[in-house]
Chains A and B, each alone.
Chain A
Amino acid sequence: DAGVIQSPRHEVTEMGQEVTLRCKPISGHNSLFWYRQTMMRGLELLIYFNNNVPIDDSGMPEDRFSAKMPNASFSTLKIQPSEPRDSAVYFCASSSGNSNYGYTFGSGTRLTVV
């Protein structure tokens, strides 16, 4: 398996634009997680899905952020409109039914909003 695949690897956008980050989890994994990493706040869980259903979105910072998982092999994280304070590395991770074995992370998307 190719692991968790995220795209794009880097994204630079202007303030006010819509940004969509993409994730393909490992085949057979039924849980998917979106994290945000910044120097100030470290790694924060934004939202997670189980069997394509959003379970906990309490970490989503505000209504400008939305996430979807239309099927078991694809998820998106959208920011609309984007702001400079959204600049961060966004990670997607997936796990099988036994999350107590840890998550497998993608390589992350570095988002810069100018």
Chain B
Amino acid sequence: AQTVTQSQPEMSVQEAETVTLSCTYDTSESDYYLFWYKQPPSRQMILVIRQEAYKQQNATENRFSVNFQKAAKSFSLKISDSQLGDAAMYFCAYFWGGSEKLVFGKGTKLTVNP
């Protein structure tokens, strides 16, 4: 079964600085998709960024970018110029079309210090 591991239960960053959240996953598939979701205190799950495994180019969305290392099965999220509104739980997730299931890691709680 596919698994997703986030090894950092908590992280903190100073406002305006850069932080990287780690994620590794286990799969025997070659064609799959990876996601980062943000869950602020409001509880809403918000899609931050998406990566297609067959694309070598790392996805970017404004201040958010990923470092996708397929061979290492690693998918880290970099947040640049951190803002107070970035404080949230961040979940890494894996999707494979053969199962139609989105599998989540346990999450990383990010604190942004002013």
Mutual binders A and B? yes
Within 8 Å by CB of A102, from B43, B44, B95, lies B95
Q: Is the CB of B106 within 8 A of A102?
A: no
Which B residues fall within an 8 A CB radius of A? Answer: 33, 35, 37, 42-45, 47, 50, 52, 91, 93, 95, 97, 100-107
Alpha-carbon distance between A103 and B46 when the two chains are bound, in angstroms: 9
Q: Are A42 and B100 in contact (CB under 8 A)?
A: no
Residues of A within 8 A of B (CB): 31, 33, 42-43, 45, 48, 50, 55-56, 89, 91, 93, 99-105, 107-108, 110
Q: Is the CB of B100 within 8 A of A102?
A: no
**Chain A residue with the shortest CB-CB distance to B91:** A43
Contact B100 A55 (CB under 8 A): yes
Find out whether the CB atom of B44 lies under 8 angstroms from the CB atom of A48: no
Describe A's contact surface by its main secondary structure: strand
| CB of B56, distance to nearest CB on chain A (Å) | 17
A99 lies within 8 A of B43 (CB): no
Contacts of B47 in A (CB 8 A): 102, 104
